[in-house]
Amino acid sequence: MNILDFIEFSLSGLSVGAIYALTGIGFVLVYKATRVINFAIGEFMMIGAYVFFGLAARATMPTWAAIAAALVVTALVGGLAERVVFRRLIGESAISVFMVTIGLSSVIIGVVEIIWTADPQSLPEFLPKAPFFIPTGFGEAFLPSKNGWGFIIAALTVTAIIVVFRYWRGGVALRATAADSQAAYSVGINVPGVFSFAWILGALTAAGAGILVGSIAGISSAMGAIGLSVLVVVIVGGLDSILGALVGGLLVGWLEAMASMTLGAEYKQLATFVVLLAMLLIKPYGLFGTHDIERL
């Protein structure tokens, strides 16, 4: 095995991992605030990618406007889903809510197929085309421009989200709600508002990640399957840990790249799920997740 190959595979794995991390953070925000395991996260990515596709490629809107519109539309869908569906399910068992998100993902897939058909499409190019050559001790490592820019954009967004949630009042409100929603209510935090906000933000980050994924790998009505990888990411990192989503995303992205390099592309998904199974058996709450204590 060539060491330069290893570095190149690692780089492209990490660039996918950064997008996983971004999506994972969207997932964690929703989970932290509302305790909903959002199986439909991949489908929210798909909404973002398809709305961008519809506006930029079919309706020939300028790229920046199409991206903004795609983010807004997906955020609205997220907010609507929270308001119409998930708010009614507060207090239901976690499994029921999980099944509802599965149902929701199915509905989204159907709607996308009706509007844009199930055929794979490619997104219009909007990132600079020059590939990256990263100097290393073993020669220059090649990284396709889409992956490189995907990594940069994802990393910037992730940093922004982390900073915002550390210092902004809304972030504090969200953390307070996550810690104890009753107590948060009693100190005057608008808890339903936090729920809506978390869903809107979660959908927003997913849409951004979806556009990045779509521009790297193309879009189809089956692209929501990437949500399964994101699920593995957040399990590895811990469902309620933003740091966990970050570390888990990079780790899973890198592992998938390593699996396809050493074993072949068909082992990619297998590797992901073996990691999931191992993680759940060894550390069910992930690397940084909070342990639940069960009382009778």
Q: Per CB under 8 A, does 164 bind another protein?
A: no
Specify the stretch interacting with another protein by CB under 8 A; choose among 160-168, 170-178, 240-248, 271-279.
271-279
Closest to another protein by CB, 164 vs 277, is 277
Name the residue with tokens 């074993």: 263
Sequence-distant (≥ 6) Cβ neighbours of residue 12 within 8 angstroms: 143, 144, 147, 257
Choosing from 211, 231, 233, 257, the residue that interacts with another protein (CB under 8 A) is 231
Q: What's the one-letter identity of residue 190?
A: N
Nearest distance from residue 282's CB to another protein, in Å? 9
Secondary structure element (H or E) that encloses residue 295, with its range: none
**Contact present, 162 and 24 (Cβ < 8 Å):** no
Q: Per CB under 8 A, does 99 bind another protein?
A: yes
Closest to another protein by CB, 47 vs 173, is 47
Specify the stretch interacting with another protein by CB under 8 A; choose among 12-20, 50-58, 83-91, 162-170.
83-91
Q: Per CB under 8 A, does 284 bind another protein?
A: yes
| Longest CA span, the chain | 61
Q: Per CB under 8 A, does 63 bind another protein?
A: no
Sequence-distant (≥ 6) Cβ neighbours of residue 240 within 8 angstroms: 28, 31, 32, 178, 289, 290
User: DSSP E strands: which ranges in the chain?
Assistant: 132-136, 139-143
- Give the dihedral sign, CA 33/38/43/45: positive
Choosing from 10, 280, 287, 290, the residue that interacts with another protein (CB under 8 A) is 280
Radius of gyration of the chain (CA): 19
Choosing from 3, 94, 156, 164, the residue that interacts with another protein (CB under 8 A) is 94
Distance from C-alpha of 118 to C-alpha of 219, rounded to nearest angstrom: 10
Q: Per CB under 8 A, does 118 bind another protein?
A: yes
Nearest distance from residue 60's CB to another protein, in Å? 25
Binding site for another protein (CB under 8 A): 37, 85, 88-89, 92, 94-96, 98-100, 102-111, 113-114, 118, 228, 231, 235, 266, 269-270, 273-274, 276-277, 280-281, 284, 294, 296
